Each structure stands twice: as structure tokens, then as C-alpha cells.
């Protein structure tokens, strides 16, 4: 049953029971933020040999301090470092795993789409060449700096790619058969490495961890399922394998570590890869993935409807990505409230939160909007959440 709308002065919107003190928060964001021009220039100077590693680190430190303040000014209760020390939201992590090499493979091309046309390229990919292992906690220094930078009352969040991302793009062909004749041993080693990573960041003080994942959203798209079949995978059941192995990686996590996942359809220079609602994976995903919350993209018609949310069990949060990170135009607050109300027909409104649909800068290039546009969108999310749920 849809909750009754609130009374003026803040119509429209559903009745709720208040704010959240644990992540994911009523007003939240995915993780990556637009890199400032000074940081981009520092990276270029470092690549050209004009700036040493210490100089680049100093530029990153200052940029992280500023972006933490930007999030605080917006009124957010959680903060990331904007992923400012990375070139890519996922590959920087994957290449840091023991046993994984960076390679160029022209056969693994990615086609992104936008309103003007398509972008096709073959970015570096990952090949497993020896037993997968965690040699040291990845992003440890980056998280420690964020932990020590956020003000009291703000929760630092670390984002890393899910285990699925080590497998999805290349599949079996990207895993040396002389190292892993069977896939069971690969998944055992990979999930053990992730479990070590989870323990490592927890010991550093991380209490809000996010596993970012494109595979579980891509598999809703028939074109992506065809791709999986072409590279020898099982398009009908691969999402179930991924869910089971994410759960293995998280099985022994501490009870006070909050874990979310973001299901992304691709994000590069305001372009995307996949389309389609969450229908294909919804029952297995929402009912089976052992996380505390789901960040879902719901900013346009590519996202499908809210009907798959009927599979979300009690006790899980859904962060509705209703505010696009791909375009500068600012959403209408009342329209956001109506969308939240629509979603509440399928999952209790108290299980809902609000965020941008994706990161603003999954790679250092960033999407086609300005830092001021980004600030306005974050502020809108906070304002809308406060009016819908109160005290966000």
C-alpha cells in the first residue's frame, strides 16, 4: 500500500519515520567526484616528469581536503575522497591484486553510448597470470588520510570494485588455465583476497564499505548477455555465481561494518554501456546478496521501472539514484518526491534513500558538468531527503 502523502508546506512526498544514523544515509552519493583543474594539472605534470611523487601526493592531499569540505558544506553525513588518487574507479584496485597483470587487448573493446552517438575503445584489461592474493591492504594510505580528514560526525566511506569485476570483462579467457585449470580455485583465491581486504580496511577504521559493480546491472541487458555467451560464460546464471562469491568475500565481516553495493550501467565522459531495468537479476540479487544497501540507477528511461524492488527484503536499504550525474540540468525537487513515492509502492519508504545515479567522475576525465553543477545536485539531494524523511 502506498503511504499517504505529507501535508503542505512540502508536497508531494510520502510519510516516513525520520532520518538514518547508519549508512547508507538518507542523502548519500556513490563515491567519485569531479577532479579540480589543479589536480588534473598536477597529474599531467607528474606524467611528464615535471612533478615528483611527493609533489603529486601534496596536490592530492589538498584536493581531498577541499572535496571533503565540499561534501560537508552540502550537508552529507558520509564522505569519500572523491576517488581523487585513482585514474579509474576499478582498475587501480584490480591491478594492485597479486597475480593480476595489466594488458592491452584489442579484442576486448567497450562501446559507450551517449545522446550524440557512440564511443568505442579498448582500455587496458586485467589478466590473471598467477595465484590471486592480497599482498597489502589496497588504498590503505588513501583511506587513512580520509579518515583523519573528515570532521566529527561525518562517516568516511571507501569504495572498491566488487570481486565480479575481476572476472566480468575477460571471463575465462583472461584467467591463465595453467594457473587455474578449474574456476573453483580461482573464486576461492579471489574471495579470500577480498576477505583479507575487508579485514584490512576495517582495522584502519573503515565502517562504511561499498562494492561497486557493473556486471550485475549489465547482465540485465540482452546485448551484454550475448557478450557473456560469446566469451564462453553462462549468461543465464553468471549473476548467481557473482552473488555467491561476493557473499563468500563478506561472510566473516565484522558486525558493525556496513556494506553497500552500487549497480552501474557504465559511466565514462557522460556515456553509458548497458540499458534495461533490474528485472533479470532482481530476485537473486535483492533476496540473496548479503549487503546492507543497494545503490541503484534510476535517472532515466534506461533504468526501467521500480517493480523489481518488490524483491527487496525488510532490513535492506535501497538508495534511489534519481539525480543524474551525466548531465548538468538540475532536477525538480517535487518530481524527485513523486518518484520516491512511486518507488514506495514496491518497497517500504523507510527503506529508501536518495543519491546521484552514479559517480560524477568514474575516471579522471569526469562527466560533462561543472563542479558547481555537482555541488547543486548534492545540495538538492540533501534538501529533498530532509523534506521527505526529516533530519537527513
* pLDDT attached to residue 324: 93
Provide CB contacts within 8 A for 62, sequence distance 6+.
Answer: 38
* pLDDT attached to residue 3: 38
Q: Residue 338 falls within a domain, yes or no?
A: yes
Range from 221-235, 258-272, 347-361 that averages highest in pLDDT: 347-361
Provide CB contacts within 8 A for 367, sequence distance 6+.
Answer: 34, 267, 269, 270, 325, 326, 360, 361
Instruction: Judge whether residue 13 has pLDDT over 70.
Output: no
User: In this predicted structure, which of 95-109, 122-136, 256-270 has the lowest mean pLDDT?
Assistant: 95-109
Categorize the per-residue pLDDT at 389 as very low, low, confident or very high, splitting at 50, 70 and 90. Answer: very high
How large is the average pLDDT for residues 83-92? 92
Q: Taking Cα atoms as reference points, which of 240, 254, 262 lies closest to residue 90?
A: 262
Instruction: Judge whether residue 6 has pLDDT over 50.
Output: no
* pLDDT attached to residue 212: 94
Q: Taking Cα atoms as reference points, which of 150, 277, 268 lies closest to residue 206?
A: 150
Instruction: Judge whether residue 321 has pLDDT over 80.
Output: yes
Q: Residue 18 falls within a domain, yes or no?
A: no
* pLDDT attached to residue 364: 75
Instruction: Judge whether residue 4 has pLDDT over 50.
Output: no
* pLDDT attached to residue 302: 74
* pLDDT attached to residue 5: 34
Percent of the chain with pLDDT over 70: 86
Instruction: Judge whether residue 9 has pLDDT over 60.
Output: no
Report the CATH number that the domain containing residue 257 is assigned in CATH: 3.20.20.210
Provide CB contacts within 8 A for 165, sequence distance 6+.
Answer: 90, 94, 212, 213, 214, 215
Q: Residue 24 falls within a domain, yes or no?
A: no
Categorize the per-residue pLDDT at 112 as very low, low, confident or very high, splitting at 50, 70 and 90. Answer: low
Percent of the chain with pLDDT over 90: 73
Range of the domain at 225: 37-389
Domain count along the chain: 1
CA pair distance 124, 105, nearest whole angstrom: 7
Instruction: Judge whether residue 259 has pLDDT over 70.
Output: yes
Cell numbers standing for residue 390: 526529516
- Which is higher by pLDDT, 7 or 317? 317
* pLDDT attached to residue 366: 67
* pLDDT attached to residue 2: 35
204-217 residues labelled b (16+ CB within 10 A) or e (exposed): bebbbbbbbbbbbb
Asked if residues 373 and 276 have their Cβ atoms less than 8 Å apart, the reply is no
The model's pLDDT over 61-71, given as tens digits with 9 standing for 90+, comes to 999 999 999 99
Q: Residue 318 falls within a domain, yes or no?
A: yes
Instruction: Judge whether residue 208 has pLDDT over 70.
Output: yes
Q: Taking Cα atoms as reference points, which of 333, 325, 382, 250 lies closest to residue 82?
A: 325
Cell numbers standing for residue 301: 528511461
Amino acid at each position: 500500500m502506498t503511504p499517504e502523502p505529507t501535508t503542505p508546506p512540502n508536497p508531494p512526498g510520502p510519510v516516513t519515520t525520520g532520518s538514518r544514523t547508519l549508512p547508507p544515509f538518507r542523502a548519500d552519493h556513490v563515491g567519485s567526484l569531479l577532479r579540480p583543474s589543479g589536480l588534473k594539472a598536477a597529474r599531467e605534470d607528474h606524467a611528464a616528469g615535471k612533478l615528483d611523487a611527493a609533489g603529486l601526493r601534496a596536490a592530492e592531499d589538498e584536493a581531498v581536503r577541499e572535496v571533503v569540505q565540499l561534501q560537508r558544506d552540502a550537508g552529507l553525513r558520509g564522505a569519500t575522497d572523491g576517488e581523487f588518487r585513482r585514474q579509474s574507479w576499478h582498475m587501480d584496485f584490480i591491478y594492485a591484486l597479486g597475480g593480476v597483470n595489466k594488458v592491452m587487448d584489442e579484442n576486448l573493446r567497450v562501446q559507450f553510448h551517449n545522446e550524440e552517438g557512440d564511443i568505442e575503445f579498448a582500455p587496458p584489461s586485467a589478466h590473471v597470470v598467477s595465484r590471486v592474493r592480497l599482498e597489502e591492504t589496497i588504498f590503505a594510505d588513501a583511506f587513512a588520510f580520509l579518515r583523519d580528514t573528515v570532521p566529527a560526525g561525518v562517516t568516511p566511506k571507501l569504495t572498491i570494485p566488487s570481486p565480479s569485476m575481476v572476472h566480468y570483462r575477460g571471463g575465462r579467457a583472461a584467467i591463465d588455465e595453467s594457473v587455474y585449470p578449474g574456476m573453483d580455485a580461482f573464486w576461492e583465491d579471489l574471495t579470500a583476497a577480498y576477505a583479507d581486504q575487508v579485514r584490512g580496511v576495517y582495522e584502519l577504521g573503515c565502517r562504511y564499505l561499498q562494492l561497486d559493480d557493473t556486471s550485475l546491472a549489465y547482465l540485465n541487458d540482452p546485448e551484454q548477455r550475448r557478450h557473456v555467451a560469446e566469451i564462453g560464460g553462462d549468461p543465464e546464471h553468471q549473476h548467481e555465481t557473482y552473488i555467491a562469491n561476493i557473499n563468500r568475500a563478506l561472510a566473516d565481516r565484522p558486525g558493525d561494518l556496513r556494506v553497500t553495493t552500487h549497480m552501474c550501467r557504465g559511466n565514462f565522459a557522460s556515456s553509458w554501456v548497458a540499458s534495461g531495468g533490474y528485472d533479470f537479476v532482481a530476485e537473486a540479487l535483492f533476496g540473496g546478496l548479503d549487503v546492507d544497501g543497494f545503490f541503484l540507477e534510476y535517472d532515466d528511461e534506461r533504468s526501467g521501472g521500480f517493480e523489481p524492488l518488490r524483491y527487496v527484503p525488510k532490513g535492506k536499504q535501497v538508495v534511489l539514484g534519481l539525480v543524474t550525474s551525466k548531465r548538468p540540468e538540475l532536477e525538480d525537487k517535487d518530481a524527485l518526491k513523486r518518484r520516491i513515492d512511486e518507488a514506495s509502492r514496491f518497497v517500504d519508504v523507510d527503506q529508501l534513500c536518495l543519491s546521484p545515479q552514479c559517480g560524477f567522475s568514474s575516471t579522471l576525465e569526469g562527466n560533462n558538468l561543472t563542479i558547481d553543477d555537482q555541488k547543486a545536485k548534492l545540495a538538492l539531494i540533501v534538501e529533498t531527503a530532509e523534506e521527505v524523511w526529516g533530519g537527513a
